[in-house]
Amino acid sequence: MTFTEKRIFVIASVLISFFTYLAAGMLAGKVVPWSTVQSVAAFVCAYLMLSLMMKRFPEEAENEIVTGDVQKDHGTSGKPRLVRTVVLSSVLMLCVNFALSFIVSDTSVPDREDLLLRAVTGVFVLPAMEEYLFRHGYLKALLRGNFPEYVPIILQAVLFASLHKGVGIPVAFICGIILGMTYVKTDERHRFIAVYASHAIYNGVLYAVLALT
């Protein structure tokens, strides 16, 4: 991949991811079944487009990913490591959320309307969509450009944070970095499972705290 190709690849990935996610957020507005369908459709389209782009350099990317994973996982047990990774990632994100909320004295209580529906969507649907677009789509696309790992991790975290507001911006940025590192450091077979499970547990705990507040 030439330097020019890398730049084009990165710019295209950023634009596709950003505008598709922004459109999904605008269409959703409020978490109801129809808006969820609209969001899912937008995320699927974005992921398919990114997948087509990633096929532009399949051999180079696949060889590097497989080699890196074999070296990382040599002599380790996959499932116990995956569980430890998910638990650590979830705990770190929860600590970040509660710590920043305490520092900025954010005592606001989110709207409880349709809490059950929002919780189900927030645990099972939204994490899957966001992880497919930001980590399994956007981050994976940038990793194929042979940049240092911190570059795509920071870029996807900035993009992820830009779709939040208030105290959610720094929380989303740090959580995006944690999820990005989780994705990069996990072997290819379990990457999506690791980030999705971490994200789902994180959201589930927050909704449980909200329900008990």
Specify burial of residue 8 (Cβ count, 10 A radius: 0-12, 13-18, 19+). Answer: middle
- Give domain status of residue 196, yes or no: yes
- Give domain status of residue 122, yes or no: yes
Cα separation, 201 vs 206, in Å, equals 9
Kindly report the pTM of this predicted structure: 0.74
- Give domain status of residue 118, yes or no: yes
- Give domain status of residue 135, yes or no: yes
- Give domain status of residue 17, yes or no: yes
- Give domain status of residue 9, yes or no: yes
Question: Which residues span the domain enclosing 172?
Answer: 3-60+78-212
- Give domain status of residue 66, yes or no: no
Written in H, E and C, the secondary structure of the chain is: CCHHHHHHHHHHHHHHHHHHHHHHHHHHCCCCHHHHHHHHHHHHHHHHHHHHHHCCCHHHHHHHHHHHHHHHHCCCCHHHHHHHHHHHHHHHHHHHHHHHHHHCCCCCCCCCCCHHHHHHHHHHHHHHHHHHHHHHHHHHHHHCCCCCCHHHHHHHHHHHHHCCCCCHHHHHHHHHHHHHHHHHHCCHHHHHHHHHHHHHHHHHHHHHHHHHC
- Give domain status of residue 68, yes or no: no
Cα separation, 209 vs 213, in Å, equals 6
- The tens-digit pLDDT sequence of the chain (213 residues) is 666 766 676 667 666 666 666 666 666 555 444 555 555 566 666 666 666 666 655 444 444 443 344 444 444 457 888 999 999 999 999 999 989 888 887 666 566 667 788 888 889 888 988 898 889 888 887 887 777 888 889 888 888 887 777 788 899 999 999 999 999 999 988 999 999 999 999 999 998 988 887
How many domains are there within the chain? 1
